[in-house]
Amino acid sequence: MYLGNFHSIVPPHQVSQNESLDWLSTAHHLAQKDQTHSQEDYLKLLHRVGCSENQINKRFFFVPDVGEKNWDDNRIYPITTKNRGVSMHYRHEFYHEIVQKLFNEIYETRSFPDDMIHVSCTGYVSPSAAQLTALRAPKTVTVTHSYHMGCYGAFPALRMASGFLANDSILGHKQSVDLVHTELCSLHLNPEDPTLEQMVIQSLFADGCIAYRMSHQKPPAGFKILSLYEEIIPDSSDAMEWMVSDWGMKMTLSKDVPSMVGAAIRDFTQRWLTSRGYDLAKIQKEALFAVHPGGPKIIDQVEKQLELKKSQVDASRHLLYRRGNMSSATLPHLWESILEDPEVPSGTLIVSYAFGPGLTVCAGLMEKL
C-alpha cells in the first residue's frame, strides 16, 4: 500500500506563542469569580509550566477568538458573560460549520476516492461533513468515521484503509481511500480551570487539517507502507484521558507521560521490528524518526531511549516549533514535511510513533518513494 496526494490547509488565525500565553492568562483572570490572582500571576504560571517560545514559535487556529481580547464579540469564549465559554452544543455547531468549509475546499479540485475516512477527536456531528461531501461525488463514496482516539488517530485510520483496499471478496475492488483529519483543539479550553495541568495542555495544542490518500497505485511522490503496529502500556490508563464535559472536551495529562513512554519505547520497538524480520540496530542507525510531537519531552525520551542522533528527530522538533500539537493531524503534517524535504532522499526509511489515551503506543514503518 502507498500513501500520497497530501493536501493540508493552514488555519487562518496565526498567533505567536507569547501572544497566546498572554491571551490565556487574561482569559483565566477574567473567568475567576474570586479574582484572587492577577493576570500577571497567571502569565507567570503559564511561562513556568507551559511550552516556551523556544519550543513553539506560533500556533494556528480556526477559532478566531484566540488572541482576541474584545471578549463580548467572541463566539466561543465570551468570558465576561460566560466564564467557561459557550456550551458543548454551540462548540459543535461551530465545528460543523468550519469543517464543512474545509471539506468543500479539499474536494473543490481533488478527485473523489472509493472510500473516505474522517479522523477527529475534537468534533462529532451526524451526518458529518464527510458524508455531506460524499453526497456530491459523481460516484459512490463510502464514509467511515474514526473518532475520539486523540493524537494517535492516524494509525487506526491507516489500518482501516488498508483493510478496505485488501478485502475484495467482501467490499469489492477498491482502488483508493482518502484519510481526512480535521482537528479544532482550540474549541476545548475551559478558562475557569487554571490548574497547572490545564495550563500545560493549553500552551501546547493548535488546530490542523490535512487529507492524504492510500492506494494500490504508486504515487509520483509519497510513501510505501511496510508495517503498522500498536500496543497499550500496562498500568497506564490514568495517565491521559479525553472525555466529554458540558462545556467541551476535557483532557487530563499526567506529567509522567514522557517518562512512561520512554520506559516502554525501546522494548516496544524491539518486539515490533524483530517480529517482522527487520534489523533494529540498522534502522536505529539509518532511519529518520517521525515522532509525534506531543511535547518536547516526548521527543527527548524517544531520542534518548533509542540512542538516536539529534538529526534523526529534528523534523519532529521543527514541526512542533512551527505548528504546535495538532492532535491526530500532527503526524500526517510531519509526513507531508518529510515528503517535501529535498534533504530526505528516496529510499529513506521512516519510523513513525504516536501516543494517546490508553496509554496507547502506535508505530509505522514506511519508505519514502
The yes-or-no verdict on residue 85 having pLDDT over 90 is yes
Closest CA to 358 of 247, 246, 254: 254
Read off the DSSP letter of residue 214: E
The yes-or-no verdict on residue 52 having pLDDT over 80 is yes
The yes-or-no verdict on residue 212 having pLDDT over 80 is yes
- Contact by Cβ (8 Å): 83, 191: yes
pLDDT of residue 145: 98
Q: Per-residue pLDDT tens for 337-367? A: 999 999 999 999 999 999 999 999 999 999 9
Query: Could you tell me which residues come within 8 angstroms of residue 264 by beta carbon, excluding any fewer than 6 positions away?
Result: 233, 361
The helix (run of H) or strand (run of E) holding residue 106 is helix 88-106
C-alpha to C-alpha distance for 315 and 241, rounded to whole angstroms: 27
Q: Per-residue pLDDT tens for 87-134? A: 999 999 999 999 999 999 999 999 999 999 999 999 999 999 999 999
Which amino acid is residue 14, in one-letter code? Q
Q: Grid coordinates in use for 45? A: 504560571
Query: Could you tell me which residues come within 8 angstroms of residue 175 by beta carbon, excluding any fewer than 6 positions away?
Result: 113, 114, 165, 215, 216, 217
Closest CA to 186 of 14, 361, 333, 360: 14
* pTM attached to this predicted model: 0.96
Distance set, CA 96 to CA 74, 119, 160 (Å): 18, 14, 24
pLDDT of residue 174: 87
Work out the average pLDDT over 219-236.
Answer: 96
The yes-or-no verdict on residue 169 having pLDDT over 80 is no
Which amino acid is residue 128, in one-letter code? S
Q: Per-residue pLDDT tens for 273-328? A: 999 999 999 999 999 999 999 899 999 999 999 999 999 999 999 999 999 999 99
